[in-house]
């Protein structure tokens, strides 16, 4: 693997007096790594920095959620060459457009996490009286989340082929010349669930704005077990979050406003993005989905909603999710004479670019990694798919979100089905980084709205399913060059 990933990182800092005091990361040797942490206050600052790095452009700040939406069929492009269209057309190879930044940033964060965990373990073994529990719990949960993200990018769906190659499990500090090989998808998921279970009792059960708490861990468990098709454990974890009453769903008249506020009542895990800390400006996640030139001539109109997605929303003209949609560049044109509300403004705060901090900045908007809405939808799906399906419970949880379309009939035990849940996930989680991964785990085909922009591509068919080899990313060439042993483990087709 690349040395930057596996060299143990000494993370050391100045004072942590405000949200702007994040880490400086310096490479060092394993012998020196433990000197970085001596107190719980040191560990806290390292966790602060970790949250900042998770919110970077290379990861949750843009690239990871963008990947899942650009490929999921709910968005499309109207023109090629504006940027990131290679995601939409699946133009990937190991040497070009490999989209390797998530791999790089993921393993960079893992090196820091492993350093923190080992340092804490050494201090505890030496008899330290400091309470490191919450910091250790956050580190373990973050490690699980990163591996869950990486295995979804590079490994086959768990239910499809858990014996396929996933990603290297690195849970200890390694020498600079280490060359770790890939583990199986099953081994990755075993590590993920082990870390989540080890972390849960170490974490606080109070709301933790910008950080990981007990309920963020449980929410991630609900998501992971859903992907593993362990519906009993997925439902149990989801219900624990729901029944805690620490978080509450927005009423319909508050849903739009929620995007103009940071750390709202539905936000279980939300990563802070601030004007001087991670603000990507005109290349932010929100900018990817705005109408061209809205707010700046540098906004290029990268992605717009697909016709299929807008047709789903159009089932109810009073659906509250319309409140974050605005006309795209195709509206009122000769080819589309009517209004086309294809631009998503969730990550701009509102359709008038309000942002989420009352500062007038519409690009430094926090990333909502896990919302309570998703947990209700997980509970609905898991209840429906239990070996003895609980359709009454599934309808109950689905209707809590389906009510955002006030003119649609509520689900009943007699009418609820997987299509209803899938459509509700599509509408509720639009542009939040879920759709492609959902379609792959459901083993559903994706038909792309290429006709809207007259898009011609040689890199994929108009309709694909998970048998298409490019639904999994290639191990990047730089990684292969640094770690020749992994070449034999390259994903098929590349």
> What's the pLDDT tens digit per position in 321-377?
999 999 999 998 877 888 999 999 999 999 999 999 999 999 999 999 999 999 999
Nearest partner of 261 among 342, 359, 341, judged by Cα: 359
Dihedral of alpha carbons 315, 317, 320, 325, sign: positive
Kindly report the CATH number that applies to the domain delimited by 3-205+460-489: 1.25.40.390
Residue 24 predicted with pLDDT over 80: no
Q: What is the DSSP letter of 53?
A: H
Given pLDDT bands bounded at 50, 70 and 90, which one contains residue 16? very low
CB 72 within 8 A of CB 298: no
Distances, alpha carbon 274 to alpha carbons 52, 65, 280, 349, in Å: 10, 18, 10, 13
Residue 66 predicted with pLDDT over 70: yes
The share of the chain scoring above pLDDT 90, in percent, equals 89
Residue 159 predicted with pLDDT over 90: yes
| Average pLDDT score over residue span 211-234 | 98
| Average pLDDT score over residue span 378-397 | 98
Q: Of all helices (H) and strands (E), which one includes residue 142?
A: helix 133-154
Residue 319 predicted with pLDDT over 50: yes
3-state secondary structure string, 148-187?
HHHHHHHCCCCCCCCCCECCCCCCCCCCCCCCCCCCEHHH
Determine the Cα–Cα distance for residues 144 and 220; give it in Å rounded to an integer.
Answer: 9
Determine the Cα–Cα distance for residues 385 and 102; give it in Å rounded to an integer.
Answer: 32
Distances, alpha carbon 161 to alpha carbons 61, 236, 470, in Å: 30, 25, 16
By CB atoms closer than 10 A (0-12, 13-18, 19+), residue 467 is: exposed
CB 31 within 8 A of CB 118: no
pLDDT given at position 47: 97
CB atoms within 10 A of CB 243: 8
Given pLDDT bands bounded at 50, 70 and 90, which one contains residue 280? very high
| Average pLDDT score over residue span 379-383 | 99
CB 475 within 8 A of CB 154: yes
Structure-model confidence comparison of residues 35 and 433, the more confident one: 433
pLDDT given at position 361: 96
Rg (CA), the chain: 22
Determine the Cα–Cα distance for residues 76 and 70; give it in Å rounded to an integer.
Answer: 7
Residues 6+ apart with CB under 8 A from 12: 23, 24, 26, 36
pLDDT given at position 27: 28
Nearest partner of 420 among 318, 312, 322, 320, judged by Cα: 312
| Average pLDDT score over residue span 29-40 | 59
| Average pLDDT score over residue span 375-389 | 99
CB 458 within 8 A of CB 434: no
3-state secondary structure string, 376-434?
HHHHHHHHHHCCCCCHHHHHHHHHHHHCCCCCCCCCCCCCCCHHHHHHHHHHHCCCCCC
Q: Of all helices (H) and strands (E), which one includes residue 464?
A: strand 463-464
Q: What is the DSSP letter of 8?
A: P
Retrieve residue 192's tokens.
Answer: 């993920």
pLDDT given at position 13: 31
Structure-model confidence comparison of residues 353 and 276, the more confident one: 353
Say whether 269 sits in a helix, a strand or coil: strand
Say whether 227 sits in a helix, a strand or coil: helix
Determine the Cα–Cα distance for residues 234 and 219; give it in Å rounded to an integer.
Answer: 9
Given pLDDT bands bounded at 50, 70 and 90, which one contains residue 436? very high
Rounded to 5 degrees, φ, ψ at 18 are -150, 175
pLDDT given at position 401: 98
pLDDT given at position 6: 35
pLDDT given at position 32: 38
CB atoms within 10 A of CB 494: 16
Residue 12 predicted with pLDDT over 80: no
The share of the chain scoring above pLDDT 70, in percent, equals 93
Q: Where are the domains of the chain?
A: 3-205+460-489
| Average pLDDT score over residue span 431-453 | 97
Q: How many CA atoms lie within 13 A of 316 on its CB side?
A: 18
> What's the pLDDT tens digit per position in 83-138?
999 999 999 999 999 999 999 999 999 999 999 999 999 999 999 999 999 999 99
pLDDT given at position 36: 72
Average pLDDT, the chain: 92
Among 17-21, 171-175, 286-290, where is mean pLDDT lowest? Answer: 17-21
Residue 17 predicted with pLDDT over 80: no
pTM greater than 0.85: yes
Residue 172 predicted with pLDDT over 80: yes
| Average pLDDT score over residue span 215-234 | 98
Distances, alpha carbon 171 to alpha carbons 40, 109, 116, 183, 223, in Å: 21, 12, 11, 12, 22
Beta bridge partners of 326: 343
Given pLDDT bands bounded at 50, 70 and 90, which one contains residue 310? very high
pLDDT given at position 4: 35
Q: How many CA atoms lie within 13 A of 97 on its CB side?
A: 15
Residue 9 predicted with pLDDT over 50: no
Given pLDDT bands bounded at 50, 70 and 90, which one contains residue 34? very low
pLDDT given at position 147: 98
Determine the Cα–Cα distance for residues 128 and 37; give it in Å rounded to an integer.
Answer: 12
Residue 29 predicted with pLDDT over 50: no
pLDDT given at position 489: 97
> What's the pLDDT tens digit per position in 139-154?
999 999 999 999 999 9
Q: Is residue 81 left, alpha or beta, with left meaning phi > 0 and alpha meaning psi from -120 to 50?
A: left
């Amino acid at each position: 693997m690349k040395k930057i990933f596996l060299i143990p990182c000494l993370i050391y800092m100045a004072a942590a007096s405000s949200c702007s005091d994040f880490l400086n990361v310096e490479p060092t040797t394993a012998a020196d790594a433990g000197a970085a942490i001596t107190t719980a206050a040191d560990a806290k600052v390292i966790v602060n920095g970790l949250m900042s790095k998770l919110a970077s452009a290379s990861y949750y700040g843009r690239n990871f959620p963008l990947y899942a939406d650009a490929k999921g069929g709910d968005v499309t492009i109207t023109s090629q060459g504006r940027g990131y269209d290679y995601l939409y057309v699946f133009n990937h190879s190991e040497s070009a457009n490999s989209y390797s930044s998530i791999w790089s940033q993921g393993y960079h964060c893992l090196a820091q996490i492993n350093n923190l965990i080992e340092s804490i373990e050494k201090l505890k073994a030496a008899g330290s009286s400091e309470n490191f529990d919450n910091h250790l719990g956050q580190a373990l949960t973050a490690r699980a989340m990163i591996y869950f993200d990486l295995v979804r990018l590079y490994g086959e769906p768990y239910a499809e082929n858990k014996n396929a190659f996933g990603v290297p499990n690195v849970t200890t500090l390694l020498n600079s010349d280490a060359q770790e090989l890939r583990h199986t998808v099953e081994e990755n998921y075993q590590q993920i669930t082990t870390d989540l279970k080890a972390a849960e009792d170490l974490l606080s059960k109070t709301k933790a704005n910008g950080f990981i708490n007990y309920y963020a861990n449980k929410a991630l468990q609900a998501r992971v077990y859903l992907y593993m098709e362990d519906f009993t454990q997925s439902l149990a974890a989801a219900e624990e979050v729901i029944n805690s009453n620490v978080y509450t769903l927005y009423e319909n008249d508050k849903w739009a406003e929620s995007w103009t506020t940071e750390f709202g009542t539905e936000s279980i895990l939300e990563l802070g993005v601030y004007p001087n800390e991670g603000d990507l400006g005109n290349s932010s996640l929100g900018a990817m989905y705005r109408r061209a030139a809205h707010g700046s001539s540098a906004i290029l109109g990268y992605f717009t909603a697909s016709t299929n997605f807008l047709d789903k929303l159009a089932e109810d003209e009073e659906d509250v999710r319309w409140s974050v949609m605005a006309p795209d560049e195709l509206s009122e044109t000769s080819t589309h004479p009517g209004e086309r509300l294809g631009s998503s403004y969730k990550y701009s705060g509102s359709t008038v670019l309000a942002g989420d901090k009352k500062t007038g900045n519409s690009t430094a908007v926090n990333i909502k990694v896990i919302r309570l809405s998703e947990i209700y939808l997980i509970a609905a799906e898991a209840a429906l798919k239990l070996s003895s399906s609980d359709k009454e419970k599934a309808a109950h949880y689905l209707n809590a979100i389906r009510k955002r379309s006030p003119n649609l009939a509520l689900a009943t035990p007699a009418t609820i089905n997987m299509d209803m849940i899938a459509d509700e996930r599509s509408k509720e989680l639009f542009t939040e980084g879920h759709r492609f991964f959902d379609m792959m785990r459901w083993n559903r085909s994706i038909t792309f709205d290429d006709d809207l922009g007259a898009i011609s591509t040689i890199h994929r068919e108009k309709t694909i399913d998970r048998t298409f080899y490019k639904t999994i990313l290639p191990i990047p060439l730089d990684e292969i060059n640094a770690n020749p042993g992994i070449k034999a483990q390259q994903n098929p087709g590349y």
